[in-house]
């Protein structure tokens, strides 16, 4: 398990928090993503009731705004990313919902009308 390969205790704890919420193939569960504490520690409301490990056994890492890491993200883009990165898989956006999100829809429904080169004067 990757959790045991990490050297310092705080990284192990951060990884363990995300391991509770994410699937093995989810990019959010990798130490690279959690290393800088971008997601923060889940709040008491976000902590799963059925979790074996208590929330109080982990240090509190504040979540950072995604705008801080990429100030050029639009409001729709931020909303989309927040929906995709929710800790609780039941609250995370599904594939059909993701494809119908305004941020995604706008990127593939905009059509450009191209004029043939020979009509340009």
Render pLDDT for 56-114 as a digit per residue (tens, 0 to 9): 877 888 887 888 878 888 899 889 988 988 877 788 899 899 889 998 888 765 555 56
Q: Which two tokens stand for residue 60?
A: 């509190």
Q: Which two tokens stand for residue 37?
A: 């504490």
Residue boundaries of the structural domains of the chain? 1-64, 65-110
Render pLDDT for 21-47 as a digit per residue (tens, 0 to 9): 554 444 444 444 454 567 788 888 887
- Within 10 Å of residue 83's Cβ, how many Cβ atoms? 16
CB 75 within 8 A of CB 82: no
pTM here? 0.54
């Amino acid at each position: 398990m990757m959790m045991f390969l990490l050297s310092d205790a705080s990284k192990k704890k951060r990884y363990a928090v995300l391991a509770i919420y994410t699937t093995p193939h989810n990019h959010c569960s990798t130490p690279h993503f959690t290393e800088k504490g971008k997601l923060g520690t889940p709040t008491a409301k976000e902590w799963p009731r059925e979790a074996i490990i208590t929330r109080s056994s982990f240090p509190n890492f504040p979540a950072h705004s995604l705008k801080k890491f990429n100030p050029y993200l639009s409001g729709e883009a931020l909303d989309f990313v927040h929906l995709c990165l929710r800790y609780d898989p039941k609250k995370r956006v599904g594939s059909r919902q993701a494809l119908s999100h305004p941020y995604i829809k706008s990127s593939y429904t905009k059509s450009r009308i191209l004029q043939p080169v020979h009509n340009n004067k």
